Amino acid sequence: MYKLFLCFRYLRRRFAAWAAVIAVALCVFMLVVSISVMDGFVSKIEVAAKGLYGDVVVDGKSLDGLPYYDELIAEIKRQLPDKVEDASPFILTYGLLEAPFFSANSRQTVQIAGIRLPEHTRISAFGQGLTYQGDIDQPTFDPPLEHLLENIRRQIHQTDRLARDVARDKGLYDRLENAWKQLPPPQRDRFEDAWGSLSPEQNDRLGTVWRKQPPEQRDRLEGRSAIVIYALFSYLGSPDPNVTIPLRNLYTAAFQQRDMEEILVRAKPYQAQMAELERQINQAIADGTADEPAEGDASGNDDGLTVKTKEDALREQLNRLTEMAGSDRYAGDVSFPFQPPGRRAIVGLGLPGFIFRTEDGTVVRMAGPGNDIVLTLIPFGEKSLTGNLLVRDVFTIIDESRTDVSTVDANTVYLPFETLQKINKMGPQIDDETGRIARPARTSQIHVKVRPAFAQARERANSRLAVRLGMEPRLRDALDEVAADIQRIGMELRNDPRYAAGFAGTELRASSWRERQRFLVGQIQSQRTLVVIMFAVISSVAVVLIFVIFYMIVLQKTKDIGVIKSLGGSSMGVASIFLGYGGATGLIGAVLGILGGWQFVKHINAIHDWVGRTYGFHVWNREWFMFDEIPAQVDASSLLSIAVGAIIAGLLGSLIPAIIASHMQPVRALRYE
């Protein structure tokens, strides 16, 4: 009992002991923050990678593609009903993207993915990353345009608010109001009536524009704060890029967003008709009636009578609708139609020029639904690329996708699976002589989702104590097991006489998403390990500090030690006093450090923003990173390990002083001065 009493007494009365507690707490704090941030990065990358690929990926190890993918998917579901939840084909190729709504010279290389919506959203987290359809259970390439318009109008409001905030933060309103008075009379007269019409209650004093502008210009700009602010400010001029650049970006975004709104309003009445005509065309092709003569439609030419086919007649109607729903407000006065569902695209949130980020990380859209892009690619699906011509086609943006992997979001465009399959020459090829399929349709990959119940059961089995102690064999990871099963099923299908010819020259490989991303995730995990080792070495200073402090305490308490031993206290009892003292120091330091680190991680983004606003120092630049916030993830097992390490550090630091105290002789200790 006296041991516990003396431990708490020393903790309460000795200031030097609290210095050791603070040292331990600071070390624990550093470890908690660094490990949590690195774990957050790893978790973000893992979730994003899994969301992109699904759990298991099957591919043909070549650009040529994997045949009989629907048959393989059906066989996987049949043989692995308890392990596999769903699967979907996926095409990946490469091309060149042009954005005519920016300029005629806007070009960049991209990877082009073909997906089946909404099927692909059941395989991965792709649907959750959609900007305009993230709240829709079944996202498609033909969403209700009214739903898109609601989102775009919210973005317009946000852009105007950001423009007003920039003007207010930079003191722009007063500068604009006073600067016009100093202009020469001809220029001042141009603005005089406008300033007279402005009111503080209307859009922060800049809600209307020049009354002397032509009616068409006035109609385009009236009530548009972002455009008005930048127009007035650029007219007056400023050498400050911190003001000019954000306003110029907001000005461009305001025009683009209103163009998007106008295009969708114009296209909305034609949406259902376009989808129905495209359905009829696809149905005619599937039924083999596409080449039949259109009813009551024939025209004469020099060679005689030419009968228009059913497909041609339907496509003419569809082209008229797309022209009527299109827009002519592009560079070079080029008109682009609003494309039907089969010619629509989802772009990655991060394509250069399509967005920009403000200082606080807010994403402002420069392009979106309604805007058209031009894609040019080489059809890699052909067996031979010799003499192959480039394929160039126009697509209308219908949504944007975010995976939080910058290398994906900054250069990926998603198209309907069947559309890209046809463009990339991966569709079925028919023998002209026999009319039979000479080469089956192909896909680049098959993405598979493993049943969560199966994966969780396998994880629980491998986490049992008996397995960890080596008393029972560890079971194979669930994803690796499913990948091995799919590899086996694929080889069985490949050896089946019905499919052997189509699989000729094709290799099949199945692997988990973790295996495919091992390089990227492994690099981050290696960095995490290095950071932990580094901070652990730094934290060893706490052990030295505890040793020095406890050695001083032992010297100061020599007479107390002598009294205890003279009253019958054993050497082990004396040693346990200081060991308990050291363990308590480590425990209290660990608790304080963990609580402090947890609170810091919880509010790390708010703290970072405050430091940036107060001192102008930004560690995390949201203009460049795809993550909106600093990722951080507090793991209970990591906290427990850190706490145990802190207690061990306290015990190690106090071990030598405790041994010294236990070996003191009572007589010498009592005579110590």
Burial class (CB in 10 A: 0-12, 13-18, 19+), 300: exposed
pLDDT for 205 equals 34
pLDDT for 113 equals 94
Tens digit of each residue's pLDDT (9 = 90 or more) over 569-611: 666 766 777 677 777 888 888 899 989 988 888 888 788 777 7
pLDDT for 336 equals 67
Report whether pLDDT(33) > 70.
yes
Report whether pLDDT(101) > 80.
no
3-class SS at 87?
A: strand
pLDDT for 451 equals 92
Please tell me what DSSP assigns to residue 414.
Answer: E
Q: Are 440 and 68 in contact (CB under 8 A)?
A: yes
Q: Hey, which residues does 415 pair with through a beta bridge?
A: 114
pLDDT for 50 equals 67
Please tell me what DSSP assigns to residue 206.
Answer: T
Amino acid at 48: A
In angstroms, rounded to a whole number, what is the distance separating the alpha carbons of residues 489 and 76?
7
In angstroms, rounded to a whole number, what is the distance separating the alpha carbons of residues 640 and 174?
56
Mean pLDDT across the chain, nearest whole number?
76
Task: Spell out a b/e string for 251-268, using b for 16 or more CB atoms within 10 Å of the CB, else e.
Answer: bbbbbbbbbbbebbebbb
3-class SS at 482?
A: helix
In angstroms, rounded to a whole number, what is the distance separating the alpha carbons of residues 533 and 539?
10
The DSSP bridge pattern shows strands 107-115 and 412-416 to be parallel
In angstroms, rounded to a whole number, what is the distance separating the alpha carbons of residues 208 and 199?
9
pLDDT for 558 equals 64
Cis before 118 (ω within 30)? yes
Higher per-residue pLDDT: 442 or 222: 442
Report whether pLDDT(565) > 70.
no
Residue with tokens 């190690």: 652
- Please report, for residues 201, 229, 357, 409, the alpha-carbon distance to residue 626 in angstroms, rounded to integers and kept in the order given: 37, 28, 10, 8
Average pLDDT for residues 495-503, to the nearest whole number? Answer: 86
Two tokens at 11? 């903790």
Closest by CA to 479, choosing from 516, 445, 508, 507, is: 516
Tens digit of each residue's pLDDT (9 = 90 or more) over 385-422: 555 678 899 999 999 998 877 778 888 999 999 999 99
The DSSP bridge pattern shows strands 391-401 and 344-348 to be parallel
Residue 228 dihedral angles phi and psi, to the nearest 5°: -65, -45
Higher per-residue pLDDT: 145 or 657: 145
Report whether pLDDT(36) > 50.
yes
Average pLDDT for residues 214-224, to the nearest whole number? Answer: 44
Two tokens at 441? 């349709």
Report whether pLDDT(663) > 60.
yes
Contacts of 273 (CB under 8 A, 6+ apart): 321
3-class SS at 345?
A: strand
In angstroms, rounded to a whole number, what is the distance separating the alpha carbons of residues 375 and 226?
31
Q: Given pLDDT bands bounded at 50, 70 and 90, which one contains residue 68? A: very high
Two tokens at 490? 């694929």
Q: Given pLDDT bands bounded at 50, 70 and 90, which one contains residue 617? A: low
The whole-model pTM stands at 0.74
